[in-house]
Structure 1
Amino acid sequence: ACDVYDALLSPRPYRPTPYDNRTALEEIIEMAQVGKLSWEVVQTLVSHNRKDRPHFRECVVSTEKRGTPPANSLYGVIVKRDLKEEIKCPNCHGSCIKREAYKEGVEYISYECRSCRKEFDEDDLLNIEIDEYYEI
């Protein structure tokens, strides 16, 4: 429970900001409700965060959610790699991998170069094509 709590309060590469204390505790309470964490350990953690710090057995834990998780978190996003389509990197001209990410039912497509690891999207490819057209 303490590791989960620490992870929620710490910066992570897949979300722009960490959880605030209230929302982190609410996430941990939810995990305890479904049996992923010990209820007594979660009660102790909640008790420790209360102003009066009651004994954990006397601590009444609210299940009401009032906090808001950080926006734009990419945690849990499913990424599919498609090797069928050959795209050349605009940076080094190496071959790229098409990546499709789905978050809350919305599809995001990007490309990652196997050589230089630069990542770009379809808008970047379109801008390069337009630039090349006007150079002629």
Structure 2
Amino acid sequence: MSRIAADHGLSEQRVADGLARMRADGMVRIRTDVARSVTGWPVYAWYFVRTPARQIQQMRQLMAQIPEARTALAVASQYNLVVAVWLREMTDVMRFEAALEAAVPSARIVDRSVVFRMGKHLGRLIDEEGRATLGFVHPFTP
């Protein structure tokens, strides 16, 4: 909080109060990152969805209720919704896809991608087991 306060010319107390209010109102959720390899959810999949614009909010709300869903982003591209999920095993990739299309029949998964290994995450180098190392990299470094 001290860094947020200093960066914005606010007192630490004001930042703490603001964050507490936002948490109470459901505007902010605190989460921590964890190596997928130790979660029991080691498969990281992305779904690229095309759905009628009137259903985007419904789809995002649905994703918020699904434990596997990590993020759902409305985007302006050939797909209008991108969903990232953590799954227990590779066979769940197709199961999740079928369940998503059954829940919203007008949604079409146009593409999907499975991430087998990440070399860095949130500016941290990731080791072979999927854990953060002590090394940092610039966020725009490939």
Q: Same fold (TM over 0.5)?
A: no
TM-score category of the 2 structures, normalised to the smaller one: under 0.3
Tell which structure's C-alpha radius of gyration is larger.
Answer: 1
- State TM-score, norm by structure 2: 0.26
More relative contact order in 1 or in 2 (CA 8 Å, sep 6+)? 2
If each structure's strand is expressed as a fraction of its own residues, which one has the higher value? Answer: 2
- State TM-score, norm by structure 1: 0.27
